[in-house]
Each structure stands twice: as structure tokens, then as C-alpha cells.
Structure 1
């Protein structure tokens, strides 16, 4: 676990300019470069001052992984820095009495900017024990709790989920009964082009469409690297295969699996209560299905690959999925037990 301060530029440090409270400000690019090099999930942490010696801590996932390619490196750096600035502004507006944390950005601003944005107010007096159970346990907090449980059970809780992920990956069919909607989960593009893994998912969706042309296909996946979204590139891929554009719908704002499914639920509208086909890679089926069911959806799992094949990379992916699923299950249990409305809103 590595912590990086991302909202201050040290002398001589490379920076990217972005919009923050309608102004051009400079934020460091080093945290983004480090995240891309590490290839691990990027979790944002915000500490909001509550008065006295109290802070409210918020954790949220920025991206499961950040990738940068040489051709679009500057644009991608600017994109990720701006996403961070957007989340920073969100929390700054949510806690206006934290104005002093952003004085560096405002000291040369037009007079009255802080007042216009409602900053400079005294913090409300915190109520004793208010939100104590909810503080510090979103995101990273539940990840730490998940790891503690793994240690306490000597890894057995993770092993049980690994077996579950394995069985679902091995047994899920590649053909399903008729359903009106086919939802295809996106996969990271390679040099702005469809990867082999994503192509396999898209080809499965095309095969399902050809068995019943009345079906509609929803492609989900936002801009996770490069200059085009996963959903848009997937749409172009299917149109090139001969599928009519009218049969395709896209959602191009989501950045991770839970976000994919939550936004898909919105687009499905009244159809969200009906079963739908959920297409993804075999190693990804167990977690995707669990997340969808947690959101109140009724997915019918469909494997992208024709058959199950085992190799070292597959084992690594299954183990990673089991870890993510363990984190989710522990987080869901904790949110229900503590009645954490913020967490429950995200996963249900």
C-alpha cells in the first residue's frame, strides 16, 4: 500500500494544468505516472475536517488500473489529472469549511472567489458519536478488513471464493436461452484498439444476436486509456461485423465493473427487472454476476470463450478475481452490519 500526495506541485516537478473551480491550476503528474508503472488499483483518499480533532475520511476507486501509451501520453495524463481534480472539487464543495486546504489555488484568484463559492465558513459543531461507524470504512477500510479476515482464516475464506470463481468459469455455457437484452462488459483497449479478450466478448454478442435478431446489445465501458471509450470501440467493431447500428446501445462513462453494471441498470430502465444476458470472459463471470445480483439485476451468465482452458495467466486472473470478490463480500457484510448508507447506495 503506497500513499501519494496528489494535490501539491513541488518546485521543479512536472505538472498538468486542469480546471478546478473554473480556474486553471497545476497538479502533479507523478502520482499518475507511478500508478501506471505499478499497474495496481488506484484509490483516492479525502480527509474532511469536522472541527476539533475530528476528520471524516472518504475512500473511492479512481481506476482498477491506469495505462499510458506513448502516442497519447500527454492527453491521457491530462485526462487522469482532470478526473482527480473533479473529485477533489466535489469533496471541497461538500465541505466548504475546508477552504484553507486550497488557499494555494485561490490566493491569486479574483477577489471574493472564496466567498462566492461559500468558503470561509466555520465548520458546524460535530455531534458526539455522529457517523462514527461510517468513518474510515469505505473502500480502503473494507480492503484492510478483508485482508484481516484472510489472515484470521489462514486464507480459507479466499480459497473458498477461489473455488467458486473456478467452478463458475468452468461450467458457465457459451449459449443461452432467449432474452431481450445482451449486456457486454468492456475490456481495456490496446493502443486504442479492441484487445483479443474484448474481441472474444464482442464476437459472442454477435453470435447471440444472429441467433435472434430481435435482441438488443448494450456495450458498457468508458475511457480507461487512449482517446476512445471501450463501448464506442466495441460498437464500431460490431458494426464492422455487419450488425445494424440500431441494435446497439452504448454506455461510455463507467470505469470499472461495478460502475459498468450500475450505469447499465439505469439504461435498461423498466427492463432492469427482467433477465438479461451478461457476456464477459470466463474468469470474470463470478464477480460480475455477484455484483449484478447485488444491484438487484437478474443476469444470465454467458461465457465469451467457447470452452474453458487452463494456463498460468488464467490461474492468476482467477486468484485476482477471488480477491476482488472477497473484498466485495466483506464490504457488503460490513456495510449492512454498520448500516453504512453511503456504501450500500454504491453496491445495491
Structure 2
């Protein structure tokens, strides 16, 4: 796996050497063909609905989980900045007691996504009464949530959380959070749904990822593959 290019050490590509994941990909392809594409359409509609209907404000006193985004030359790109701005707005409005910034070293640099996000927040007017916790070990959304769950469990039972990320990314994060037993609600980074070509393309990719994950989990549960079930439990 270390032989993969840096650009492929993130997201689903890092699992190309994992037999269970490749089996899931094959099952997903068969299901896609067998349903004449309707399976993909159903997942795209799900991504669309979450993207267009999610609020921009968390419920009062929720813990915010802010998903990172791959750094470009050690710098934050626009989607990540939008997520941080949304977290800051909610914190200023008194809608959170604490924030977890999620994300490891995605570009091979010395600074993690979480650390870069913290520096950005500290460069603005961050409310001093809202603590920020860093989760810096993960490289994809599933690991983000698993590590966040471990951090939160240290303090006892899991609190209600708000997932702060880009609208196109929300459906996948919400699905994973629910599988991991979070009481989670989505909070959109963007004030409104952009709807441009770039965004539709991102949503199309997310629908594919979500379909792959969901079919893989269903197949694992059907066949009793506890290795896969444990990853999403």
C-alpha cells in the first residue's frame, strides 16, 4: 500500500489492496448492472436530498465534528475554508460547546489537516470559551469518525454531534456516523446549494462512494464477514 502515489493514499483508493473492499466493488458493480442503473440513481437522489435540505445551524450545545480536506502545498483549499467558517459561525452563535477538527497528514507534509484548520481558526475571532480538539490520525471519512468516537468515548457516552462538511459530502458522512452509532445531524458548510457543474460532478462521485460502502456492508452482513461489519460498527 505504501507504493501507491500520494494522491491515491486517501479515500477509497487506499483500499485497493484490500480483498474485502474489492469484493464489495464487484458486488456493487453486479447490483448496478442488475438494476439497470437504478441502484446508483437511488444513491444519487439520497446525496442530492441531504445536500439540498441540510441546515447551516447546529442544534444548541451540540459537539461539532468538522471534516478536513486535503491540503494543497500545505495550504487550505476553498471547501475546507467553508467548513471552518461554518464552524466559527456556529461557535459565535453559541450553538456548540466544543469542536473536533478531523484530518491527518493528507499531502505528506508536516502539518495535519486538523492542525492547519486550527491555525486558520486562531487567525480569526474564535470564541475563547469553545475548546477545539484535534484528531490528526485519519486519512478518510470513516477513520475520521472512528477516531472521533474514541476521543469522545474517553469522556463517557457519545454526545449528540453535528457533522460539518461540504454539502456534497454530507450524505456519506451521515451514513457512516449512523453506522458507528452516533446521534448525528448534518450541517452544511455552504450557505446555499451551489448547483454548478463542479458540484454536480462531486455529488456524482459521492453517490458512487456511498453505493460502494452500502453494498459492501450489506453483502458482508449477509455473508457473515465480521471483518467488514466491524469496520462499520
TM-score normalised by L of structure 2: 0.91
2:43 counterpart of 1:161: yes
Greater C-alpha Rg: 1
Post-superposition Cα deviations, 1:248-287, rounded to whole Å, max 9, x if no partner, equal: 1000000000010111111111465331111000000111
Residues 63 and 96, structure 2, Cα contact 8 Å, conserved in 1: no
Give the aligned partner of residue 74 of structure 2.
192
> Is there any run of 5+ residues in structure 1 with no aligned partner, and where?
1-5, 7-26, 46-58, 60-135
The reply on whether 1:42 has 2:14 as its aligned counterpart is yes
The CA deviation at 1:315 is: 1.0
Larger helix fraction of residues: 2
1:279 is aligned, of 150, 164, 171, to 164
Aligned mate of 1:255, from 117, 132, 139: 139
Q: Which has the higher contact order (CA 8 A, sep 6+)?
A: 2
Following superposition, the deviation at residue 190 of structure 1 comes to: 1.4
Consecutive unaligned residues of structure 2, counting only runs of 5 or more, are none
Match of 1:236 in 2: 119
Structure 1 equivalent of residue 193 of structure 2: 308
> Is the contact made by 1:176 and 1:302 (CA closer than 8 Å) also made in structure 2?
yes
Instruction: Report the secondary structure of 1:266's partner residue.
Output: helix
- Aligned mates of 2:40, 2:8 — CA distance in 1: 26
What is the Cα deviation at residue 309 of structure 1? 1.5
Deviation at 1:209, TM superposition (A): 0.6
Q: 1:288 to 1:346 in 2, by over 3 A?
A: same
Give the Cα–Cα distance (whole angstroms) in 1 for the partners of residues 60 and 232 of structure 2.
28
Q: Is the 8 A contact 2:97 2:130 kept in 1?
A: no
Question: What's the counterpart of residue 325 of structure 1?
Answer: 210
Q: After TM superposition, which residue ranges in structure 1, 4 or more long, deviate above 4 angstroms?
A: 33-36
Richer in strand (by share)? 1
Determine helix, strand or coil for the equivalent of 2:118. Answer: helix
1: distance between equivalents of 2:227 and 2:174? 22
Normalising by structure 1, report the TM-score: 0.62
Count of residues paired in the alignment: 229
Deviation digits for residues 107-135 of structure 1 (CA, Å, limit 9, x no counterpart): xxxxxxxxxxxxxxxxxxxxxxxxxxxxx
Q: Name the CA distance, whole Å, in 2 between partners of 1:40 and 1:337.
A: 22
Classify the secondary structure of the residue corresponding to 2:187.
Answer: strand
